[in-house]
Amino acid sequence: MPEFARATTADAPAAARILAKAFATDPHVAGLLPSDRDVVDRLTRWFRHSIAEAGKTGGWVDVARAGGTVVGAALWEPPGHQRSKLQALAGVPMLVRTYGRRTLDAVRTHREADVARPSKPHWYLASLAADPAAQGTGVGSGLVRAGLARAAADGVGTYLESSTPDNLPFYRRLGFEELDQVPSHGTADLHAMWQDPSPVTGA
């Protein structure tokens, strides 16, 4: 059975790589990336940056371990999190390194997602992934439950965007309800989902 814990600094490389491999074939993310360089390397840099930023802004990175090896990761943003203009400006070089000639589409898409976020307090599940070898062992659901428990303890809701309709049943089983689709630019739209602070249902 996997064990779940807050990520340590030593976990960051493995967590970033797992997230990168998962999102390299994600229709929404892959649709925003240029195809002239290795997608996994681009995304690994992006997630290493995102994990580092989470540590500076009160965010939370959960990992699942099996036999001491990281086999899953979830990246969460805390209630009330909002990037300042200075933070947004500081992130531009990483955006360009990741998205290249598709940077404008990526910026516009991220902006659409920011505007669609609920105004009431919530924990935001920014990214979730499990190593393919560990899928079906409860890694993904365990990582989501860890975040839901924090949200319940804080008395706030939980929000996410599913990047593919294929994942909607998984999140429904965990108690999420669908909101609206979030429009994207040059790639597949996102599916917004919400859960009030309540006990987790399903499996």
Point out the least confidently predicted range of 32-46, 80-94, 123-137, 183-197: 80-94
pLDDT tens profile 39-75: 899 899 999 999 998 888 889 999 999 999 999 999 9
To 10 degrees, what angle do helices 12-23 and 39-56 make? Answer: 130
Architecture of domain 3-195: 3-Layer(aba) Sandwich (3.40)
Domain ranges of the chain: 3-195
Q: Are strands 190-195 and 157-162 parallel, antiparallel or unpaired?
A: antiparallel
pLDDT in tens, 3-15: 999 999 999 999 9
Is pLDDT above 50 for 203?
Answer: no
Handedness of CA 171, 70, 81, 181 (dihedral sign): negative
Write the DSSP symbol of residue 15.
H
Predicted pLDDT of residue 88: 56
d(CA 73, CA 64): 6
Burial class (CB in 10 A: 0-12, 13-18, 19+), 112: middle
pTM > 0.75: yes
Cβ atoms within 10 A of the Cβ of 12, count? Answer: 20
Locus of tokens 């990761």: 73
For residue 70, the cross-strand partners are 65
Q: What is the pLDDT of residues 163-201, one digit of tens each?
A: 999 999 999 999 999 999 999 998 999 999 999 987 544
In the predicted structure, residue 86 carries a pLDDT above the cut 70:
no
